[in-house]
Amino acid sequence: MTKYILKRIAYMILTLFIVATITFFLMKMMPGSPYTNEAKMTKTQLRIMNEQYGFNKPLWEQYVIYLAGLVHGDFGISFQYSNMPVSQLIGSRIGASAQLGLQAMIFGVFFGVIIGAIAAIKRNTWVDTTATVLSIIGKSVPNFVLAVLLQYYIALKLGWFPIAGWGTFSQTILPTIALGVGPLAETARFVRTSMVDTLTSDYIELATAKGLSLTQVIRKHALRNSMIPLVTLLGPYTVSLMTGSMVIENIFNIPGIGEQFVKSILTNDYPTIMGTTIVFSLGLVIVLLITDIVYSLIDPRIRLQGSDA
Amino acid sequence: MAEEAQAPQAKLTENAFEGLPKDEAQSAENIAGPSLSYMQNVWIRFKQKTSGVVSGIIVILMIVIAFGSTPFINKSTLVKSQPQYANLPAKIPGVNLNGLNGKIKQNGEWVDVYEKNNIPKDKYFIAGTDYLGRSLAQRIVYGTKISLIVALVAAFFDLTIGVIYGVISGWKGGAVDNVMQRIIEIVSSVPNLVIVILLLVVLKPGLKSIIIAIAISSWMTMARQVRAETLSLKNQEYVLAARSLGESSWKIAMKHLIPNLSSIIIIQTMYTIPSAIFFEAFLSFIGIGISAPETSLGVLLNEGQKNFQFLPYQMWYPAVVLCVLMIAFNLLGDGLRDAFDPKSAR
Amino acid sequence: MSERILDVKNLKIDFHTYAGEVKAIRNVSFHLDKGETLAIVGESGSGKSVTTRSIIGLLAGNAEIMGGSIKFHDQEMLNNSEKDWQSIRGNKIAMIFQDPMTSLDPTMKIGQQIAEPLMKHKHVPKKEAWARALEMMKAVGITNAEERINEYPHQFSGGMRQRIVIAIALICEPEILLADEPTTALDVTIQAEILDLMKDLQKRVKTSIIFITHDLGVVAGMADRVAVMYAGELLEYGNVDEIFYNPQHPYTWGLINSMPTLHIEKLESIPGTPPDLLDPPKGDPFAPRNKYALRADVEAKPPFFKVSPTHYASTWLLDPRAPHVEPPAEIKRRWAKYRELQAAKSNS
């Protein structure tokens, strides 16, 4: 187990290194200047600015300095907010994004499992059909469309929740729903299929032949077996939540890194773009590692490769 | 014994106790019906599911309308702004339904905007206009075409890079497979949207950049699935037999692999498409995808969102079209999956 | 006569399918006495599994019992509520399934899976139930049971898993054990071990067994009585000797002829396929494949003719009006042997 985790961490570092490298060189290829008012600057001013950001050094040296900085958690200085270190900028915003992402994940998985399981148990009835239709809609309606609709009809028209902003719990509800509906629909579809498979399996028949009631069969045998594979979806969910956060945070005016990321793209703030990219990748590789470890803990059949028997 | 002979006294013909001639015995064994080929069965099962069929028809209709309209709706017609017609609601000839007859709700009352702005009586915009007076219907059709182009491109890369990568990785096995899988593992542990966004930042935003972005990011799920399936097919008896008989790898791939992979390839392609459509809409919505003078459903949604409070139709129409497109492809995918794999349709 | 614990009469079961009503079981009657083993023999699709499943109330969702009766100790089972069934399943009547590789819950410890019926039916506390599970594991021949009780199914071989399934079935000491091809999925050498184990445990637990198989070879050493099933109907039943040495129905002849023995040089197969049960034949269902068939076999269902007090067969060949037919050589050899045995018996 330890050996496997060490191996995985080595892979994670390699992945992050590749991401950092790609990001760095892509940013260097970026057309246009990072300075918004370059035209007005004198040559001296430009030289001073270049020196300050280290742009006068050869490319490889800039690369080495950048990597060395990364190791110490230094992502450079943001262009957008002058003199604000990117790490500080991200640090001040990651909390909101993490909270929103976690809430959306819990919301989606929790209701997804319930809907999926009920659909499977009542399969081929109107309950199942309704659940299937809802999950197709949930899967198909883009989250930013849903966000705008929720914001207008639920917050503005009905006034049930605040329209935007961040701070109170009620402000988190609409963005959580908008962000969580995708994972919810996906979970419901997945759990239904997996549960139907389980319910028609031989071991469920044996459990029934033992004299267990339907509730007991589901509680003791079916639910666990059909939920275990759900763990593998945590990675894809994380990706979709990160993607979604960029637009949902924007619509609901939430001070998170997704909203910041879009802003820094639109303003060519590439130290921030690079920093955010690496933070997103780091988040994903950590989730993937946790997925593997959790999977091996809850499914006795899985033995992590390289671990001692 | 309780089970005594108790069958009712059967009525037998006179010659009942003669042996039964061979041909008569045969005729007593009736044939259930002609056997059907695999694809015929798939087609029959697909036809049984209304949602799949309806979705297929919707997709075909959308393709016909979007591409068939090119002579009338193209880049040159898109740029014509007519400020005098700005922000008009929908007005459809012969329809007298509030919201579709040129009237819009302002401060709780239905106001005929066409009349108020002195628009000629015979001027109709069936989906209204945007803030520059451009026909929304035309822009939606054009946007749908962009979405469908993106869908086709994603499908193309799925079918080429994805399938080839997967087949090679699965078929070769060993070190080749190992390296190829590590590559996928690393690439997929980067949120691919992040890479795509970086690319779009570097390249000029536009359809070309989005296509490149899709080429890089869309095929990995397909490659994984094809690999897994190839791996299991490789060890099936009939493929082993073909290999031991010395058939060339190429011939085996064409004769045995591709036909058996076809179902997962088709199903996976159908699932890649909606995510590619979402992808484009998303990028355009946040402002780094398609940009003026071109338009796409994502751009329209972005523009519509700004005015949503006052002119909700400007967002509703593209939103509905986008959702219908996504739902249709998703349902088509489900329908095909159930048709190819009846087990999944339980 | 020993105590009769199960009596099935004129059982009719239909399956509702897209193609129509499949009349899977048609007028099947048999009984089971205390402590005996009844083997139901037939090819796949003959309805033997469906019949046994109806005894434990585990029919598929699209199956419907159209008539007949299943009496367990004079208690009509077809009126059972789901709750009644639950108190019978795993308790009074238990079942062993065909494929041990998929019959066990992959994510539950073996000990828990064996102890589960005991906790459910006898309300035994967990600790005690596990202790009984351990005993049971030893009884079914799992070595190192103290350690293995905490393991998961994937850590066991197929034969070991079938032993576990048997342990689960027998832990409540059921009166009837339904074994649905319990050895088909296993290696031949392990098959014999499992059969010996079942016989051994049957004596200890004093249970009756209904043993379903398509393999007549397995039946000989296992069963007291044999019922031959074909296309949803019983064709012949009797004591094991009577079926093996004095078979009367041409289908039974075919089964015996396709069974490898020392005397048969060339194995005979039965040509053709079973009839379509959407529209079952009105006569003997085997007639179309039967080279000894009479016109009567096609025209009307033959009644059960009594061969001995324990032996009945449903074929018009036993009608006094029927012509004499020459059975296959192997059957004639067996008949001769049977007559010898009978003669020896009456002399002694």
DSSP tag of C106? T
Hey, which CATH number is domain B43-68+136-344, 3.30.70.3000, 3.30.590.20, 1.10.3720.10, 1.10.10.60? 1.10.3720.10
Tens-place pLDDT, residues C230-257: 888 888 999 988 888 888 888 888 888 8
Per-position DSSP letters for B135-189, written without gaps between them: BHHHHHHHHHHHHHHHHHHHHHHIIIIIHHHHHHHHHH-HHHHHHHHHHHHHHHT
**pLDDT value, residue A308:** 37
Lowest mean pLDDT among A201-210, B113-122, C15-24: B113-122
Q: Searching chain C, which residue's CA lies closest to the CA of residue B5?
A: C304
Structure tokens belonging to residue C83: 């709750």
User: Which of B286, B306, B329 to mutate to test binding with chain A, by most A CBs within 10 Å of its CB?
Assistant: B286
**pLDDT value, residue A304:** 56
**pLDDT value, residue C142:** 87
Position of tokens 């190192």?
Answer: C144
Q: How confident is the model at residue A103 (pLDDT cuts 50, 70, 90)?
A: very high
A179 with A100: CB under 8 angstroms?
Answer: yes
**pLDDT value, residue A95:** 87
C219 with C226: CB under 8 angstroms?
Answer: yes
| Structural domain that includes position A136 | 97-263
Give whichever of A162-166, C101-105, C259-263, C275-279 has the largest mean pLDDT.
C101-105
Contact B327 A136 (CB under 8 A): yes
Interface of A with C in 151-170 (CB under 8 A): none
Q: Is the pLDDT of residue A214 over 80?
A: yes
Average pLDDT over residues A189-214: 89
Interface of C with B in 7-26 (CB under 8 A): 7, 9
Average pLDDT over residues A216-237: 87
Q: Which residues pair with C225 in a beta bridge?
A: C38, C239
A2 CA: distance to closest CA in chain B (Å): 20
Lowest mean pLDDT among A67-81, B25-39, C86-100, C224-238: B25-39
Q: Which amino acid makes up residue C123?
A: H
Q: What whole-number distance in Å separates Cα of residue C286 and Cα of residue C185?
A: 28
Nearest-10 Cα torsion for A225, A226, A232, A233: -160
Is residue A279, in this structure, part of any structural domain at all? no
Tell me how crowded residue C286 is: count the other CB atoms within 10 A of its CB. 26
Lowest mean pLDDT among A142-156, A275-289, B183-197: B183-197
Domains delineated in chain C: 4-223 (3.40.50.300), 226-347 (3.40.50.300)
Average pLDDT over residues A190-219: 89
Q: What whole-number distance in Å separates Cα of residue B70 and Cα of residue B211?
A: 20
H helices present in chain A, as ranges: 2-28, 43-53, 59-71, 86-121, 126-140, 143-149, 169-199, 202-209, 214-217, 223-227, 234-251, 257-266, 270-298
Q: Is the pLDDT of residue A176 over 80?
A: yes
**pLDDT value, residue A118:** 92
Of A211, A298, A301, the CB nearest to C120: A211
Lowest mean pLDDT among A175-179, A265-269, C23-27: A265-269
Cβ contacts of B140 within 8 Å, gap of 6 or more: B127, B297, B300, B317, B318, B321
Higher pLDDT, C34 or B218: C34
B20 with C298: CB under 8 angstroms?
Answer: yes
A233 with C119: CB under 8 angstroms?
Answer: no
Q: What whole-number distance in Å separates Cα of residue A243 and Cα of residue B203?
A: 20
Count of domains forming chain A: 1
Average pLDDT over residues B8-17: 64
Q: Is the pLDDT of residue B7 over 70?
A: no
**pLDDT value, residue C227:** 92
Nearest-10 Cα torsion for A16, A22, A27, A30: -160
**pLDDT value, residue A188:** 92
Nearest-10 Cα torsion for B101, B103, B105, B106: 170
Q: ipTM strictly over 0.85?
A: no
Tell me how crowded residue C191 is: count the other CB atoms within 10 A of its CB. 19
**pLDDT value, residue A109:** 93
Q: Which residues pair with C25 in a beta bridge?
A: C13
Contact B29 C306 (CB under 8 A): no
Q: Which residues pair with C41 in a beta bridge?
A: C213, C228
- Ranges of each domain in chain B: 43-68+136-344, 84-134
Is residue A297, in this structure, part of any structural domain at all? no
CATH number at residue A184: 1.10.3720.10
Q: Is the pLDDT of residue B327 over 80?
A: yes
Convert B270-306 to b/e letters by CB count within 10 Å (16 or more is b): bbbbbbbbbbbbbbbbbbbbbeeebbbbbbbbbbbbe
**Residue C105 exposed, middle or buried by CB count within 10 Å (0-12, 13-18, 19+):** buried
Strand B103-106 vs strand B109-112: parallel, antiparallel, or unpaired? antiparallel
If you average pLDDT over every residue of chain C, what do you get?
A: 85
Task: Find chain B residues with C-beta within 8 A of C295's C-beta.
Answer: 13, 15-20, 24
> Is the Cα dihedral B146, B151, B152, B158 positive or negative?
positive
Q: What whole-number distance in Å separates Cα of residue C112 and Cα of residue C131?
A: 11
Contact C300 B29 (CB under 8 A): no
Q: What whole-number distance in Å separates Cα of residue C236 and Cα of residue C226?
A: 8
Starting at the edge strand that comes first in sequence, how are the strands of the sheet with C4-17 ordered? C20-33, C4-17, C63-72, C75-76
B126 with B94: CB under 8 angstroms?
Answer: no
Q: Which of A273, A256, A232, A278 is nearest to A101 (CA)?
A: A256
Of A202, A209, A301, the CB nearest to C90: A209
Q: What whole-number distance in Å separates Cα of residue A254 and Cα of residue A171?
A: 9
Q: What are all long-range contacts of A257-260, with beta carbons under 8 Å and residues at least 24 apart?
A: A257/A90, A257/A93, A257/A94, A257/A97, A258/A97, A259/A93, A260/A89, A260/A90, A260/A93
Q: Is the pLDDT of residue A253 over 60?
A: yes
A97 with A256: CB under 8 angstroms?
Answer: yes
B322 with A142: CB under 8 angstroms?
Answer: yes
Higher pLDDT, A137 or A42: A137
Q: What whole-number distance in Å separates Cα of residue B147 and Cα of residue B273?
A: 9
A300 CA: distance to closest CA in chain B (Å): 22
Average pLDDT over residues C88-105: 88
Structure tokens belonging to residue A245: 């956060």
Q: Is the pLDDT of residue B211 over 70?
A: yes
Maximum Cα–Cα distance across chain C: 68
> Is the Cα dihedral B258, B259, B264, B269 positive or negative?
positive
Q: Is the pLDDT of residue B4 over 50?
A: no
DSSP tag of B304? H
**pLDDT value, residue B9:** 54
> Is the Cα dihedral B303, B304, B305, B307 positive or negative?
positive
Convert C78-88 to b/e letters by CB count within 10 Å (16 or more is b): eebeeeebbeb
Of C276, C291, C297, the CB nearest to B30: C276
A151 with A158: CB under 8 angstroms?
Answer: no
Cα-based angle C298, C304, C309 (whole degrees, multiple of 5): 155
Q: What whole-number distance in Å separates Cα of residue C233 and Cα of residue C91?
A: 29
Tens-place pLDDT, residues B123-156: 667 767 777 767 777 888 888 888 888 888 888 8
C206 CA: distance to closest CA in chain A (Å): 19
Per-position DSSP letters for C242-272, written without gaps between them: HHHHS--SHHHHHHHHTS--SS-SSPPPPPS
Of B6, B19, B22, the CB nearest to C294: B19
If you average pLDDT over every residue of chain A, what do you get?
A: 83
Q: What whole-number distance in Å separates Cα of residue C232 and Cα of residue C243?
A: 19
DSSP tag of B127? T
Average pLDDT over residues B14-33: 59
Helices A126-140/B313-340 angle, 10° precision: 120
Of B5, B16, B29, the CB nearest to C296: B16
Is residue A122, in this structure, part of any structural domain at all? yes
B25 CA: distance to closest CA in chain C (Å): 5
Contact A299 C107 (CB under 8 A): yes
Tell me how crowded residue C131 is: count the other CB atoms within 10 A of its CB. 16
Contact C303 B5 (CB under 8 A): yes
A76: left (phi over 0), alpha (psi -120 to 50) or beta: left
Q: Is the pLDDT of residue C281 over 70?
A: yes
Is residue A253, in this structure, part of any structural domain at all? yes
Q: Is the pLDDT of residue A213 over 50?
A: yes
Q: Which of C211, C240, C257, C192 is nearest to C98 (CA)?
A: C211
